[in-house]
Structure 1
Amino acid sequence: MSTPTLAAFKVPAVENEPMRQYAPGSAERQGLEAALAQMHKELPFEVPCIVNGKSIKTGNVAKQPMPADHANHICTYHEADQATVSSAIDGALAAKTEWEAMPWNDRAAIFLRAADLVSGKYRYKLLASTMLGQGKNIWQAEIDAAAELADFFRFGVKFVEELYQQQPVKNSPGVWNRVEYRPLEGFVLAVSPFNFTAIGGNLPGAPALVGNVVVWKPSPMATYSNYLVYKILEEAGLPHGVIQFVPGPPAEVVAQAIGHPSFASLHFTGSTFVFKKLWKDIANNLDTYKGYPRIVGETGGKNFHIVHSSAEVNNAVLQAVRGAFEYQGQKCSALSRLYVSSSLWKNGFKDKLLQEVAKIKVGSHLDFGNFMGPVIGKPAFDKILGYIAKAKDAGGEVLIGGTGDDSKGYFIQPTVILSKDPKSITFVEEIFGPVLSVYVYEDADYEKTLELIDTTTSYGLTGAIFASDRKALLLATNKLRNAAGNVYYNEKCTGAVVGQQPFGGGRASGTNDKAGSISIFYRFVSARSIKENFVGLEDFGYPSNLV
């Protein structure tokens, strides 16, 4: 039984979570250092499945290694088996009626409280878990596990309030038209990636905000931080069963969920290959479902910077360094392809780029002076070095970097490869690591280079245009209209902020449903139009029937 709605509540004003600086000697650095030390003492943690609010220990145990110290692991986690996944689905569906009927202000309050727990009580613990488990430095963990996660929850509440307020603008005499935004019929499957703790919170959180129930399968490489996010939502008051936490073997868990008749939607972030396979599998199951499932996905990228001859060199270089090498290039939006005009390349750009990359320190998160940490694991380490070798074989020149050391952690040096072939392998295929491929074009070939950028890869996620000449900016914007869902002027191609730059791309990069905006919530509701008539008919005939 839901509580009667006695008022139209207005949610509090929301702002982006302020970034903390973690300067030496600051209170926030001391707090984080204490959290890291405490977490190290308690390693490894044990993570169960959470179904209907109960911890389930299946006995099928896997480990989440620490990428900077792979001899140790941050947690062991119990993998969901078939019975656990089945129980999770059944429990979610059982919780659906009460959750859907809960007044909107109460659902909103849960997520607003969760945001405050993220940004306050659990901030340092979330950062520590993200640093240890996912190999982020302080700054990258701060913008992810603290700021962006809190922003997703707070702005999500604001966006849903705006969504619910969208009502028909016209009513005939004696009629009241209105629209309700129902959650989807069935359950949502959320499959989250390793590289952003915040995405781990948003993939199940966004559908739940609008009344859906969710089965959440986190990445094996982000299990512990994602478990903390679940526990925060639970502490904030999320009813049992609304989000079911089921770590486990991805293929088996996902196949069981999408094979269920009540599967209603996939909310996915991960590889393009996996997303395409899941889309095909869902299509093959269409006769099983009650309706047509919503498929929402953000996948890979092969993101570019184009540097025009009028660009300011210092800014373009520094933006490229950050865009390519922050978090070891393990962002879907990371810079991978850099196109530089020959006049700039010869007159300072090349030298400045190599000087700045040479300054990058690579190593453990425990040394706060390191700009780069480890890549996520052994498969990534081998894949990245393999691509560097392939680039060399294709005639590419490694200007700096190109080496790795996996004796203790999975560390790869920031690598810049110059190629005369703009269609060579590292310009085309996603690497997901600290490798930047550079192509130098003749100044007169700027427009041709834009066409090259547009046709080189199948992706369409992010890109950046560097130019002082406004005509050059405009030309690139028009030529590259479909090459990126997020485009930046004189700014790196990473770092979209919730509520400021809605994030997502098209082509092979995903469904471009724009996380961090109101758009994403449309995908998880099914609108119902209601027309109420206040004045009854007195006759079934039409006025035109009169004779």
Structure 2
Amino acid sequence: MTCPTVNPPTVTTIYPSLLPATLATFEVPAVANEPMKSYSVGSAERAGLQAALKELRAQAPLDIPCIVNGKEVSIFEKQVMPHEHEALVAKAIDGALTAKNDWEITPFNDRAAIFLILSPPSTGAILIDITVIQDHGCYHMQERKNAWQAEIDAAAELADFWRFGVKFAEELYAIQPPQNAVSTWNRIEYRPLEGFVFAVTPFNFTAIAGNLAGAPVLVGNVCVWKLAPATTYASYVVYQILKEAGLPDGVIQFIPGPPAEVVGQVLKHPDFAALHFTGSTHVFRKLWKDIGNNIENYKSYPRIVGETGGKNFHMVHKSAIVKSVVLNTVRSAFEYQGQKCSACSRAYFPDNLWPEIKKDLVENHALTGALFSQDRYATILGANKFRHAAGNFYINDKCTGAVVGGRASGTNGKAGSAAILSRFVSPRSIKETFVDLDDFIYPSNLV
């Protein structure tokens, strides 16, 4: 299955010498969440998904290359010299830094247009491919998802990440000093980081992978993208969507190679500027230690943004509705086989409700943060008590993973919000004065 053909936006980033002057202040089109399809029995989307799955299966097996400076590089040939991986990673980093020269000065409207490719009406045709790939599991059991789990991840969430990212970037750039002294103009520019961003993406969410690489790029950075093997094909399609939308060669270097070789070389590079990570707590802590050990080698202090696994909780008050508790707990703990960092992995039940909850869990579902309560005082008290217990807090709903992170579960960067973009820019204050000084002495110094 090939990536759907789209009409790319008119961009001039490939030819920086022809960049137009900014002749207007552009306003990003209104954005909205991607509607989610149910894939119910007899629906058109279910039939389309089944047909597309059949087509995709017929193409197996698929070989996915590295993409360095826009060129495909096969990594499936036998190699007797391990240093060839090292040379490829070095080439990718050098290429990204070269591409950065043009990309960081590309007008925001041109960068934004690329990420708006997943806006209606183009969304449906493109996202059906990603949903199919997720549903089939990239030929890895690790990421095999049913239609709904694939829909809420790779289809809807990826579109929302990119659309709202553009809107949030526009709002970030609009934050300027509210007041100026006489004959001066103060302003702030939001520079991309000095160097390159290293995106390390997880095995279980294509949308997260697309955003870990995409968010820094949207605000002018370049990215070396190290993806998990289980998401290789789905991530490849995401990359191709950006490529067809007009992303210049080298801005994202697509590296599905061996983890040890890639990570080790990247973290030793003096131009390493940021880690954007989603994965296990163990790996995240290891990467953080490696960055610390190399701190003297870097040109600047790297940003570290990460989301890891969580011991997510359901806290049940004695006033809670038992059926709601049971159903939400089962959903949170078992959907996508519990392979989510946001899955419920612990629950606290009051004595008066536990016998009934246990009966429903064991008999109907097999037993496996949120607060379940109908008492307003208990709800307010719980929200305050658990203020630092979780990056997201849900009331009478299952714990999930929209914009998570906190304590040992990550840096709470809030992917999908305006906060995440601020981690990948370096503000510079600019003051311009329109009058010349007549003397170096201040009036207060005169006698």
Q: Provide TM-score, normalisation by structure 1.
A: 0.75
Q: Map 1:513-528; keep pairs closer than 5 Å.
A: 513-528=413-428
1:483 and 2:383 matched: no
Check conservation: 1:216, 1:245, Cα contact below 8 A.
yes
2:372 aligns to what?
466
- Structure 1 segment 505-516 matched on structure 2, within 5 A: 505-516=405-416
User: Which residue of structure 1 aligns with residue 3 of structure 2?
Assistant: none
Answering whether residue 40 of structure 2 is matched by residue 19 of structure 1, we say no
Shift of residue 341, structure 1, vs aligned partner: 1.1
Distance in 1 (alpha carbons) for counterparts of 2:321 and 2:41:
32
Contact conserved, 2:75 with 2:257, CA < 8 A, in 1? Answer: no
Distance across 1 between alignment mates of 2:343 and 2:193? 33
Aligned to 2:65: 48
Which of residues 346, 350, 357 is equivalent to 2:358?
Answer: 350
Equivalent position amino acid for 2:360 in 1: K
Question: Which one of the candidate residues 320, 324, 338 is aligned to 2:333?
Answer: 324
Matched residue type, 1:43: A
Q: Is the 8 A contact 2:117 2:123 kept in 1?
A: no
Find out whether 1:300 has 2:304 as its counterpart.
Answer: no
2:245 is matched with which residue? 236
1:163 maps to 172
Q: Residue 271 of structure 1 corresponds to which residue in structure 2?
A: 280
Instruction: Check whether the contact 1:321–1:356 (CA below 8 A) recurs between aligned residues.
Output: no
Using a 3 Å threshold, how does the CA distance of structure 1 residues 268 and 82 change in structure 2: closer, same or farther?
Answer: same
Instruction: Note the C-alpha offset of 1:60.
Output: 4.6
Question: Offset at 1:545?
Answer: 2.6
Structure 2 counterpart SS, 1:482: coil
The answer to which structure has the higher strand fraction is: 1
SS at 1:45 equivalent: coil
CA RMSD of aligned residues (A): 1.6
Q: Which amino acid aligns with 1:37?
A: K
Corresponding residue SS for 1:81: helix
Pair 1:340-2:240 in alignment: no
**Structure 1 residue 116: deviation in Å?**
5.2
Selected match of 2:133 from 109, 129, 136: 129
Is 1:194 aligned to 2:94, yes or no? no
Q: Which amino acid aligns with 1:484?
A: A
Deviation (angstroms), 1:122: 2.2
What one-letter code is carried by the residue in structure 2 that aligns with 1:505? Answer: G
CA shift, 1:282, in A, is 0.6
| 1:111 aligned residue | 115
Cα–Cα, structure 1 residues 61 and 351, in superposed 2: closer, same or farther, change >3 Å? farther
1:353 Cα shift? 2.0
Q: CA deviation at 1:351?
A: 2.0
State which of 108, 120, 125 in structure 1 corresponds to 2:124: 120
Distance 1:80 1:274 in 2: 25
- 1:409 paired residue number: none
Amino acid at match of 1:122: I
Match of 2:213 among 187, 198, 204: 204
Q: Do the aligned partners of residues 239 and 116 (structure 1) sit closer, same or farther apart at CA in structure 2, a change above 3 Å counting? A: farther
The Cα offsets for residues 244-281 of structure 1, whole Å up to 9 and x where unpaired, read as 00001112211111111110000000011111111111
Letter paired with 1:519: A
2:104 is matched with 100
Task: Report the AA paired with residue 4 of structure 1.
Answer: A
The CA deviation at 1:118 is 7.5
Counterpart of 1:168 in 2: which secondary structure? Answer: coil
* Cα offset, 1:6, TM superposition: 0.4
Relative to structure 1, is the Cα distance of residues 43 and 117 closer, same or farther in structure 2, using a 3 angstrom cutoff? farther
SS in structure 2 at match of 1:290? coil
* Structure 1 unaligned blocks of 5 or more: 63-78, 358-399, 401-415, 417-435, 437-462, 497-502
Q: 1:216 to 1:116 in 2, by over 3 A?
A: farther
Q: Which residue of 1 aligns with 2:56?
A: 39
Superposition pairs for residues 42-441 of structure 1, below 5 Å? 42-60=59-77, 81-115=85-119, 119-133=123-137, 134-346=143-355, 348-357=356-365, 400=366, 416=367, 436=368
Compute the displacement of 1:495 (Å).
Answer: 4.9
Residues 217 and 61 of structure 1: is their aligned pair in 2 closer, same or farther, counting only changes over 3 Å? farther
For residues 193 and 12 of structure 1, the distance between their equivalents in structure 2, rounded to whole angstroms, comes to: 31
Identity %: 62
Distance 1:170 1:280 in 2: 43
Larger displacement relative to structure 2 (40-49 or 50-59): 50-59
Does the 8 Å CA contact 2:313/2:344 hold for their aligned counterparts?
A: yes
Structure 2: gaps (5+ residues) = 1-16, 138-142
- Asked whether the 8 Å contact 1:149–1:201 carries over to 2, the reply is yes
Distance 1:61 1:106, change over 3 A: farther
Q: CA deviation at 1:120?
A: 2.0
Is 1:542–2:446 an aligned residue pair?
Answer: no
Aligned residues: 422
User: Counterpart of 1:430?
Assistant: none
1:513 to 1:137, Cα distance in 2 relative to 1, 3 A: same
Aligned to 2:47: 30
SS class of match (2:274): strand
Q: Distance in 2 between matches of 1:114 and 1:250?
A: 30
In structure 1, what is the Cα distance between the partners aligned to 2:363 and 2:421? 45
**Could you tell me which amino acid in structure 2 is paired with residue 264 of structure 1?**
A
Alpha carbons of 1:543 and 1:265: their partners in 2 closer, same or farther (altered >3 Å)?
A: same
Question: Does the Cα contact within 8 Å between 1:80 and 1:246 map onto a contact in 2?
Answer: no
Which position in structure 1 is the counterpart of 2:10?
A: none
Alpha-carbon distance in 2 for matches of 1:329, 1:483: 21
Aligned-partner Cα distance in 1 for 2:121–2:76: 31
Provide closer, same or farther for how the CA distance between residues 197 and 127 of structure 1 changes in structure 2, counting only shifts above 3 A.
same
2: CA distance between counterparts of 1:13 and 1:260? 40
Secondary structure, aligned partner of 1:94: helix
